[in-house]
C-alpha cells in the first residue's frame, strides 16, 4: 500500500505553504557557553509517550506537507515501486541448513510481507512450520521478529516480537511438534535468547527504563517471572550486556561492553547458576571476545595491536594470553569461528574481505578462500554445527547478486548453492564496478566503490552514499533497488570514509571524537574528486545517509551546500549536542566514547557544537532535502529531525524543497514489511529524480 491514500489527498491539496513551527525561546549554558534552542518544545516531556497535542499537530502538518509536495510524483513512485518489486522473487526460500537432526530454512510466499520458518527431519518426514511471521504480524502496523532460538533438543521454540518499532520485545515459547503456546511470557527484552540447563532455562536481557541492557537473566521454563535469576548486572551505565553460546555449546558467554572496552564471563551451560569465570577484568580501550575448545580459550583482542590479535589461554588461568596470530597493520582481524577440526578467521586486507581456514595442530597451514572478483563482500554465513565438512558462505559484489556457497574444506572447493534470482531480469554484463582512490584535503587516500551502466553518459548524475561512524564498514554489496537509479544513467558510489573501519581500526579512530570532522571532509572531498575526474558535475550529485549517516548529511549541507542536487537524510542524528548532554536518554552514556562527553569536557562541548548540524544551520541556500523520522525510534528520537527541519525552514534563503515524513507507527528502521520498505525506497528515489530533473524510462 502506498502512503498517500485517497483520504489524505484533500487535506494535502489544501496546504499551500509549509508548516512553520512556533519559536519558544529556550537556552542552556555549559562551561560558560550559552546555546539557544528555540525548538526544544518539540520534545514531548512525557517521552517515550508522545501525547502533546502541539507536537502531534506539527508532525501531522509536516506529514500533510510531505504528501502535498510528493503528490505529483506519485506516478514515478508507482513506477519505481513496480520496478523494485519486480526484482524480488516473491515466492522464495533460503538454502536449507543442517543443524542436528533437522534441516532449517525460511520461506516467503507470493505477496507476503513477512516470512515463515520451516524445518524437516534429515532422516525424512514432513515439513514442519515452526514460526509464521505472517500470522504474528496480522493486525499490526509494524512487526519485527527479534531473536529466535530452538532448544538444543529441538523440541521447543523461543522467539521475541516488537510490534510498534520501540525495540522492546516480548518473548514467547511453543512446543514445535504440537504448536502449543506455553504460558511463559517475558516482556521488555532486548537481547538474544540462549537455552541452558538442558533446555530448562533461557538466558535473556531486559531493557531497563532507559532502554539499556544492563543485565543477563535466567528464566526457568514454567516458573513465574518473579523467580527469574539475575546472573549478571552491569553497574556502568555506558555498558551493554549480551549473552551467547560457545561454538561447542558448553559455555554461556556473558559479555559487557561499550564502544571501546569489553569484559567477558563464562558460565557452564549445564549449571548456569555456577560462579561465572571472569576471563580478564576490563581495561579501558581494550576490546576482546572469547570462545572455548578442549579447555583452551581463544581470545580476539586489540590489547597489543589496534587491528586485533588472536590469542589463547588455559581455561584454568584465563587471563594469561599467548599470541596465536599477531596483529598487523596489513591485516585487520575482524573475528574468528571455532569448529571441532579447524577454525576460520575473517578480516580485511586493504579494505577487501579475506577468509582463511586454519588448523589447531598445524599453525603454518593457512588456506585462504579465494573469490573471482577484485572487489566484493564475502563472509561466513550460518554455520550452527560443531563438526561440519562444509562451510556456508555468503558472497556478493556491486554487480554480482547475492550468492550462497558451500566451501568444502577437505578439497578446498566452492559449490554455489543459490544465486539471488531477479524475476524481471538482470544482465551483469551491462554494468561495471570500480574501486577508486581519491585524496582528501589532508593527503589521506579515501577508497570509493562505484557501479554504473557501461553505456552511461560521461558526467551524468551520481548518487553518493556514506555513513562513517562506529567502526561500521560500508561493504560493496549488491542492491536490486539501486538499479532504478543506475538504469536511469546514475553512477552509484559508496565513500569508504574515516569513522568506519573499512581500512582497519586506525581508519575508525581517525573519524571519531576529536577527529570527527575528518568524516565530513572525506565525504565532501570524494564528491569533489568524482567531479574532477569527470564522472559527474557539481550540483548533479544526490546524497543519502541514515542515523549517524544522517548527521553526515547535515554536516555537509552546512559546509558545502552547492555541491548537492538532492539530499535524503533518514532518521538523522542531527541534534548531537543536546543528545550528548542528556544522560537520561537511552543511548547517551554509551555514546560518549564515540562522540565525547560534553557534560564534563569543555573541548568536547565546543567541538560537538561546531559540527552539530542542528546547531550550525545558518542563513544560506540549502539543497533540496527529504527527511524521515520514526515516532517510536529509540535511537534517533523523532524530535531531532523535527527540530532540524523547523530551524532550516526558519533560516534557509532558498526556495528548494524541504519535506519531512514521520512514520507514526515505526521506529529507527522505518516500515517493517519487505514491500512496505520498498515504498519508502521508491519515495526516496522519486524525490532524487524529481530534484535532479531525471525522469522517464530506464535505459534499455
Return the active site residues.
Answer: 547, 633, 668
Cβ contacts of 102-110, under 8 Å, gap ≥ 24: 102/154, 104/150, 108/674, 109/134
Under a CB-based contact definition with an 8 Å cutoff, are residues 171 and 157 in contact?
no
> How many Cβ atoms are within 10 Å of 42's Cβ, its own excluded?
24
Burial class (CB in 10 A: 0-12, 13-18, 19+), 258: buried
**Is the Cβ–Cβ distance between 686 and 654 less than 8 Å?**
no
3-state per-residue secondary structure call for 659-670: EEEEECCCECCE
Whether the CA torsion 46, 48, 49, 53 is positive or negative: it is positive
Bridge-based pairing of strands 462-465 and 541-546 is parallel
Pairing of strands 462-465, 491-495: parallel
Residue 463 grid cell: 548518487
Instruction: Report the relative pairing of strands 144-150 and 128-132 from DSSP bridges.
Output: unpaired
Q: Which of 478, 604, 615 is nearest to 558 (CA)?
A: 615
Q: What is the 3-state secondary structure (H, E, C) of 552-600?
A: HHHHHHHHCHHHEEEEEEECCCCCHHHHHHCCCCCCHHHHHHHHCCCCC
Supply φ then ψ for residue 414, to 5 degrees. Answer: -100, 125
Return the DSSP state at 445. E
Hey, is 437 helix, strand or coil?
strand
> Can you tell me whether residue 640 is helix, strand or coil?
helix
C-alpha cell at 222: 514454567
- Among 180, 184, 202, smallest CA distance to 130 is for 180
Amino acid at each position: 500500500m502506498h502512503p498517500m491514500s485517497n483520504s489524505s489527498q484533500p487535506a494535502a491539496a489544501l496546504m499551500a505553504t509549509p508548516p512553520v513551527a512556533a519559536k519558544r525561546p529556550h537556552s542552556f549554558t555549559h562551561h560558560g557557553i550559552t546555546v539557544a534552542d528555540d525548538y526544544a518544545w518539540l520534545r514531548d516531556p512525557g517521552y517515550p509517550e508522545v501525547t502533546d497535542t502541539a507536537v502531534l499537530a506539527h508532525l501531522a502538518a509536516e506529514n500533510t506537507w510531505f504528501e502535498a509536495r510528493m503528490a505529483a510524483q506519485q506516478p514515478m513512485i508507482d513506477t519505481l515501486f513496480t520496478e523494485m518489486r519486480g526484482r524480488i522473487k516473491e515466492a522464495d526460500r533460503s538454502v536449507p541448513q543442517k543443524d542436528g537432526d533437522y534441516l532449517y530454512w525460511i520461506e516467503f510466499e507470493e505477496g507476503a510481507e513477512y516470512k515463515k520458518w520451516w524445518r524437516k527431519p534429515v532422516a525424512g518426514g514432513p515439513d514442519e512450520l515452526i514460526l509464521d511471521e505472517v500470522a504474528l504480524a496480522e493486525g499490526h502496523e509494524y512487526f519485527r521478529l527479534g531473536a529466535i532460538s530452538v532448544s538444543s533438543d529441538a523440541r521447543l521454540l523461543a522467539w521475541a516480537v516488537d510490534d510498534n518499532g520501540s525495540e522492546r520485545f516480548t518473548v514467547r515459547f511453543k512446543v514445535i511438534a504440537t504448536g502449543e503456546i506455553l504460558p511463559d511470557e517475558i516482556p521488555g527484552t532486548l537481547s538474544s535468547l540462549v537455552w541452558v540447563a538442558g533446555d530448562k532455562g533461557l538466558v535473556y536481557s531486559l531493557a531497563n527504563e532507559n532502554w539499556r541492557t544492563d543485565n543477563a537473566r535466567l528464566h526457568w521454563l514454567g516458573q513465574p517471572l518473579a523467580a527469574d535469576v539475575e546472573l549478571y548486572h552491569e553497574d556502568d551505565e555506558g555498558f551493554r550486556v549480551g549473552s551467547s553460546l560457545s561454538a561447542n555449546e558448553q559455555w554461556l558467554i556473558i559479555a559487557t561492553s561499550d564502544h571501546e572496552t569489553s569484559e567477558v564471563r563464562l558460565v557452564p551451560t549445564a549449571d548456569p547458576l555456577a560462579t561465572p569465570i571472569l576471563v580478564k577484568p576490563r581495561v579501558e580501550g581494550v576490546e576482546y571476545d572469547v570462545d572455548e575448545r578442549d579447555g583452551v580459550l581463544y581470545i580476539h583482542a586489540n590489547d597489543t595491536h589496534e587491528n586485533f590479535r588472536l590469542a589463547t589461554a588455559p581455561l584454568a588461568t584465563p587471563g594469561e594470553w599467548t599470541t596465536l596470530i599477531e596483529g598487523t597493520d596489513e591485516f585487520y582481524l575482524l573475528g574468528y569461528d571455532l569448529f571441532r577440526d579447524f577454525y576460520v578467521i575473517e578480516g580485511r586486507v586493504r579494505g577487501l574481505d579475506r577468509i582463511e581456514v586454519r588448523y589447531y595442530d598445524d599453525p603454518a597451514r593457512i588456506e585462504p578462500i579465494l573469490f573471482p572478483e577484485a572487489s566484493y563482500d564475502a563472509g561466513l554465513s550460518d554455520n550452527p554445527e560443531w563438526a561440519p565438512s562444509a562451510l556456508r558462505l555468503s558472497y556478493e559484489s556491486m554487480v554480482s547478486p547475492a550468492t550462497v556457497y558451500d566451501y568444502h574444506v577437505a578439497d578446498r572447493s566452492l559449490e554455489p548453492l543459490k544465486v539471488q534470482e531477479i524475476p524481471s531480469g538482470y544482465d551483469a554484463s551491462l554494468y561495471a564496478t570500480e574501486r577508486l582512490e581519491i585524496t582528501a584535503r589532508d593527503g589521506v587516500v579515501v577508497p570509493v566503490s562505484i557501479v554504473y551502466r557501461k553505456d552511461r553518459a560521461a558526467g551524468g548524475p551520481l548518487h553518493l552514499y556514506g555513513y562513517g561512524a562506529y567502526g561500521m564498514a560500508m561493504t560493496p554489496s549488491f542492491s536490486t533497488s539501486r538499479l532504478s537509479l543506475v538504469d536511469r544513467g546514475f553512477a552509484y558510489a559508496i565513500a569508504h570514509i574515516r569513522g568506519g573501519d573499512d581500512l582497519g581500526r586506525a581508519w575508525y579512530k581517525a573519524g571519531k571524537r576529536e577527529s570527527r570532522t575528518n568524516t565530513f571532509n572525506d565525504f565532501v572531498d570524494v564528491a569533489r574528486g568524482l567531479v574532477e575526474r569527470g564522472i559527474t558535475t557539481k550540483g548533479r550529485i544526490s546524497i543519502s545517509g541514515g542515523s549517524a549517516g544522517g548527521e553526515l548529511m547535515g554536516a555537509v549541507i552546512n559546509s558545502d551546500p552547492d555541491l548537492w542536487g538532492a539530499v535524503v537524510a533518514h532518521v538523522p542524528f542531527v541534534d548531537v549536542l543536546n543528545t550528548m548532554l542528556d544522560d537520561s536518554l537511552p543511548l547517551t552514556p554509551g555514546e560518549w566514547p564515540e562522540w565525547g562527553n560534553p557534560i564534563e569536557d569543555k573541548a568536547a562541548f565546543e567541538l560537538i557544537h561546531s559540527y552539530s548540524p542542528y546547531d550550525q544551520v545558518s542563513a544560506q541556500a540549502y539543497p533540496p532535502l527529504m527527511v524521515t523520522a520514526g515516532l517510536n525510534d529509540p535511537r534517533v528520537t523523532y524530535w531531532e529531525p523535527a527540530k532540524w527541519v523547523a530551524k532550516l525552514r526558519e533560516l534557509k534563503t532558498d526556495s528548494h524543497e524541504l519535506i519531512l515524513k514521520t512514520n507514526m507507527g515505526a521506529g529507527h528502521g522505518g516500515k517493517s514489511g519487505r514491500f512496505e520498505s520498498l515504498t519508502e525506497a521508491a519515495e526516496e528515489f522519486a524525490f532524487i529524480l524529481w530534484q535532479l530533473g531525471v525522469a522517464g524510462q530506464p535505459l534499455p
